[in-house]
Amino acid sequence: MLLPVFATIRGGAKVLLFNAALAGVIHLAAPSQPRLSDRAEYEYNGIEVLAPRCPHTIYCYRILVPIALAQVPLDSELRWRGLAWLAHTATGTVVAAAVPTGSPLIASVLLQSSYAFTFTAYDPYSPDPIVFLIAALILFYWISDRPLAAALIAIVFVFAKETVALIATAPAIAALMFRDRPTWPRWLAPAAMAWLALLTFHWYMDAFQGWGIAKNPAASFSTGSWLALWWQNNPSLPRKALMIFSPFGFAWLFAALGYRHSAVPVRQLAIGAVLPLAALVYVQTPERALGNAFFVVIPLATAFLARASAAPAWAAAITSALVTAKIGLSTAWLPSISILLIPASLSAAWAIESVRRRAVRGYDADARIDNATDLNSDLNEQ
């Protein structure tokens, strides 16, 4: 299932180039180096491939991206940053192709500026951009009903990061809950295969190579994992609220309002994603975990903005984008959050009012048609 804009090479190229340019600008706006990074932990996997007694706990199992990058004959910095830019470009294009309702360009703006994408432009030294691409492909395969393709990418890319197994679980839950497509049993395969591959790999490396995750705070499931640490380290409730708001800004609100207007497959996948994303929030810092929800939040938000006039829709998308980009990038190119929230709030209200006004006009038009039909019926009877 492709949007009409992708029916021609020119239309598809337009969206691809738009995402490439937008992702490029965001990467250029990021500081030259992040304050903290897991780069050393990931690069160890590309140097000491599957070596016994890996010292980096959970990072040891995320082997796919570091091993692949180590084979690229370029400078390490260029490899990581180039991969992030390419993956962000591809992800934005795939999501735009998969979104059933709304502007693919607005979807691209909301996606590229979201916290997860801007943060990985700020800190590209992780497999997260590849995980985002897999999530986008799972969205696309779910809408186009291709469970085998989803299973193939899940079983391979679960070795990039465990998040892939959780994302692959979303369509499995949706398929089990709704069972409205003949292929629904096949949608259990991506999750089953990803989890089987992941758990088998963990068991083997722990048992025979001396690996383990016990020293990682995320492994402390009984004491609240990373969620408990995040709660303790952010004592201010307003700060917690801002961090939960930060992954998508006002797109959270647009997604909630756009749920009933979106295509059925997207609504189903959104419901199926609730439990996997809740599990991810438990074992990862919530703002980064929730950033992975883009594969359902962006289509829902785009469906809502499609019901507004062009000017308020674009204003709402761009101003919300500036808020999330500022938080994720930590860039000096943008003013403070307190300043950016003012136009973003006003634009969100403008978009919501535009949708309301258009709905009223639509209802009025329907009423006039009904009245005219009733009048014609009365005249015919007379």
- Domain assignment present for residue 382? The answer is no
What average pLDDT score do residues 348-371 get?
A: 77
Mean pLDDT over residues 40-60, rounded?
94
DSSP 8-state secondary structure symbol assigned to residue 333: T
Residue 8 has a pLDDT of 66
Cα maximum dimension of the chain: 93
- 380: in domain: no
Q: Compute the average pLDDT of residues 15-32.
A: 95
Q: Residue 378: inside a domain, yes or no?
A: no
Report which of 84, 73, 106 is spatially closest to residue 5, judged by C-alpha positions.
Answer: 106
**CA–CA distance, 118 with 136 (Å, rounded to integer):** 16
For position 72, what pLDDT does the model report?
Answer: 94
Whether the pLDDT of residue 371 is over 70: the answer is no
Is residue 4 predicted with pLDDT exceeding 60?
no
User: 331 lies in a domain?
Assistant: yes
> pLDDT per residue over 303-348, tens digit each?
999 999 999 999 999 999 999 999 999 888 899 999 999 999 999 9
pLDDT at 374: 42
The answer to the question of residue 370 being in a domain is: no
Domain encompassing residue 214: 4-362
Which long-range contacts does 371-378 make (Cβ < 8 Å, 24+ apart)? none
Give the chain's domain count: 1
3-state helix, strand, coil in the chain (%, to 5): 75, 0, 25
Task: Please state, in angstroms and rounded to a whole number, the distance separating the CA atoms of residues 120 and 346.
Answer: 28
SS3 145: coil
Residue 321 domain-assigned?
yes
Q: What's the pLDDT score for residue 226?
A: 86
Of 301, 307, 306, 308, which is closest to residue 324 (Cα–Cα)? 301
